Amino acid sequence: MIGSRGWTRALESKICSGVQVPGHALTQFNRGADMKKPNKSRYTLIKGKYWIHYPDSPRQGPQPDGDTITFQADDLKLVRNLPWLSGRGPNINTRGTIPVRYEGIDALETHFSGAHQQLQYANAARDENLRLLGFRNVTFFSDLPNNVESVDENPLWGT
């Protein structure tokens, strides 16, 4: 499942340690006999496109890494209607895209406040993330190593 940096916690499982969390239909899920069926799914399927490059402004485009991708929902209403436990809504930019972060995955950072963490492994995580999403022949600017210079196909459809 996917969650944005600003709202990852809101998308994480609402159940922890087998206790009921307010607003969730399951209780004591680790006791088979006490398990109750939820009224609705814990997750919302949101279809849209993954972006790693803006052809009209590539040097200011998305900066994908090993646990984050830029996503443009087909229906932003679905994004806005997600539970926002942080009290803040989604970080939707003027293009209608949001940065989304994979739930339960924490990769090394390729860039973070002007720094990075073990760049060899951070870049490997980023490259594998892009490969798994289906992006091919991705190249980065030599002077902006976190910005995509070119890619075979962009955006790619996904959920």
Say if 27 falls within a structural domain.
Answer: no
Domain total in the chain: 1
Does the pLDDT at position 149 exceed 70?
A: yes
Q: Is residue 145 one of the residues assigned to a domain?
A: yes
Give residue 71's domain range. 2-13+46-158
Tell me whether residue 69 is in a domain: yes
Q: Is residue 24 part of a domain?
A: no
Other Cβ atoms less than 10 A from the Cβ of 15: the count is: 18
Token digits of residue 124:
């490997």
* Chain mean position to CA 119: 21
Question: Domain for residue 26, yes or no?
Answer: no
152 belongs to a structural domain: yes
Beta strands in the chain (DSSP E): 2-3, 48-51, 68-73, 98-102, 139-140, 148-150, 156-158
Residue 6 lies in a domain: yes
Q: Quick: pLDDT tens for 15-50.
A: 333 334 444 444 344 545 566 777 878 889 999 999
Query: What's residue 116's pLDDT?
Result: 65
